[in-house]
Structure 1
Amino acid sequence: MLRRLSLAVAVAATTGFAWAAQPAPAAPSLPTKTDLINVYKDAVDNNADLAAAQADYLARKEAVPQARSGLLPQINAGASTGSTRTSLDTPSATLNRNTQLVQASLSQPLFRADRWFQLKAAENTTEQAQLEFSATQQQLILQTAQTYFGVLRAQDNLAASKAEEAAFKRQLDQSNERFDVGLSDKTDVLESQASYDTARANRLVAEQQVDDAFQALVTLTNREYSSIEGILHSLPVVAPIPNDAKAWVDTSVQQNLRLQASNYAVDAAEETLRQRKAGHLPTVDAVAQYQKGDNDALGFSNSGLPGEPHYGKYVDQSSIGLQLNVPIYSGGLTSSQVREAYQRLNQSEQLRESQRRQVVQDARNQHRAVNTDVEQVKARRQAIISNQSSLEATEIGYQVGTRNIVDVLDAQRSLYNSVRDYNNTRYDYILDNLSLKQTAGTLAPSDLEALGAYLKPDYNPDKDFLPPDLAKAAEAQLKAGAKY
Structure 2
Amino acid sequence: MGEIAHVEHPGVVAALHQADAVEFAVRVAESALAPTLSVNAQVSQQWDSFLGVPGSRQFSAAAFAQLNVPLYQGGSEYASIRQAKEQLSQDRLNADLQRDSVCTSVLSSYGLLETARASIISSRAAVKAAETELTGVREEAKIGQRTTLHVLNAQQALLNARVSLVTSQRDRVVASYAVLGSIGRLSAQELQRDVALHDPGIHFEQVKTNWLGVDTPDGR
Instruction: Flag whether TM exceeds 0.5 (same fold).
Output: yes
Distance in 2, Cα, partners of 1:217 & 1:117: 45
SS at match of 1:188: helix
Is the Cα–Cα contact under 8 Å of residues 16 and 92 in structure 2 kept in the other structure? no
Q: Does 1:128 align with 2:90?
A: yes
Q: Within 5 Å, give how 1:293-332 maps onto structure 2.
A: none
Distance in 2, Cα, partners of 1:185 & 1:83: 121
SS at match of 1:111: coil
Match of 1:184 in 2: 146
Match 2:65 to one of 101, 104, 117: 104
Match 2:3 to one of 41, 56, 60: 41
Match of 2:116 in 1: 154
Distance in 1, Cα, partners of 2:169 & 2:51: 102
SS at match of 2:71: strand
Distance in 1, Cα, partners of 2:32 & 2:140: 93
Is the Cα–Cα contact under 8 Å of residues 161 and 203 in structure 1 kept in the other structure? yes
SS at match of 2:144: coil
1:86–1:154 CA distance, 2 compared to 1 (3 A): farther
Q: Within 5 Å, give how 1:86-101 maps onto structure 2.
A: 92=51, 97-101=58-62
Match of 2:101 in 1: 139
Structure 1 stretches of 4+ with a deviation exceeding 4 A read 82-87, 93-99, 221-224
1:71–1:185 CA distance, 2 compared to 1 (3 A): same
Q: CA RMSD for the aligned pairs? A: 2.9
Q: Within 5 Å, give how 1:433-448 maps onto structure 2.
A: none
Deviations 1:96-127 (A, max 9, x none): 65443332222122222221211111111111
Instruction: Letter of the 1:140 partner, please give it.
Output: V
SS at match of 1:75: strand
Distance in 2, Cα, partners of 1:41 & 1:217: 13
Q: Does 1:52 align with 2:14?
A: yes
Distance in 2, Cα, partners of 1:51 & 1:193: 53
Match 1:194 to one of 156, 160, 164: 156
Offset of residue 75 of structure 1: 1.6
Q: Does 1:207 align with 2:169?
A: yes
1:99–1:210 CA distance, 2 compared to 1 (3 A): farther
Is the Cα–Cα contact under 8 Å of residues 175 and 188 in structure 1 kept in the other structure? yes
Q: Does 1:164 align with 2:126?
A: yes
Instruction: Letter of the 2:3 partner, please give it.
Output: K
Distance in 2, Cα, partners of 1:160 & 1:123: 56
Deviations 1:170-207 (A, max 9, x none): 33223212321222332332332233223213312322
Distance in 2, Cα, partners of 1:182 & 1:68: 95
1:109–1:184 CA distance, 2 compared to 1 (3 A): same
Match of 1:71 in 2: 33
Task: Please identify the structure whose Cα radius of gyration is greater.
Answer: 1
Is the Cα–Cα contact under 8 Å of residues 15 and 91 in structure 2 kept in the other structure? no
Is the Cα–Cα contact under 8 Å of residues 15 and 98 in structure 2 kept in the other structure? yes
Distance in 1, Cα, partners of 2:47 & 2:86: 58
Instruction: Letter of the 1:101 partner, please give it.
Output: A
SS at match of 1:118: helix
User: What is the TM-score when the length of structure 2 is the normalising length?
Assistant: 0.69
Aligned-pair identity (%):
19
1:188–1:119 CA distance, 2 compared to 1 (3 A): same
Distance in 2, Cα, partners of 1:98 & 1:202: 98
Offset of residue 151 of structure 1: 1.4
Is the Cα–Cα contact under 8 Å of residues 147 and 213 in structure 1 kept in the other structure? yes
Distance in 1, Cα, partners of 2:15 & 2:58: 60
SS at match of 1:183: coil
1:184–1:140 CA distance, 2 compared to 1 (3 A): same
Match 1:118 to one of 72, 80, 100: 80
User: What is the TM-score when the length of structure 1 is the normalising length?
Assistant: 0.34
Bigger Cα displacement from structure 2, 153-162 vs 62-71: 153-162
SS at match of 1:110: coil
Distance in 1, Cα, partners of 2:151 & 2:47: 114
Distance in 1, Cα, partners of 2:131 & 2:44: 99
Distance in 2, Cα, partners of 1:149 & 1:77: 66
Offset of residue 167 of structure 1: 3.3
Is the Cα–Cα contact under 8 Å of residues 61 and 129 in structure 1 kept in the other structure? no
Distance in 2, Cα, partners of 1:43 & 1:56: 17
Distance in 2, Cα, partners of 1:144 & 1:120: 36
Is the Cα–Cα contact under 8 Å of residues 45 and 58 in structure 2 kept in the other structure? yes
Distance in 1, Cα, partners of 2:128 & 2:46: 102
Offset of residue 50 of structure 1: 2.1
Distance in 2, Cα, partners of 1:196 & 1:131: 54
Structure 2 unmatched ranges of 5 or more: 191-220
Distance in 2, Cα, partners of 1:203 & 1:122: 56
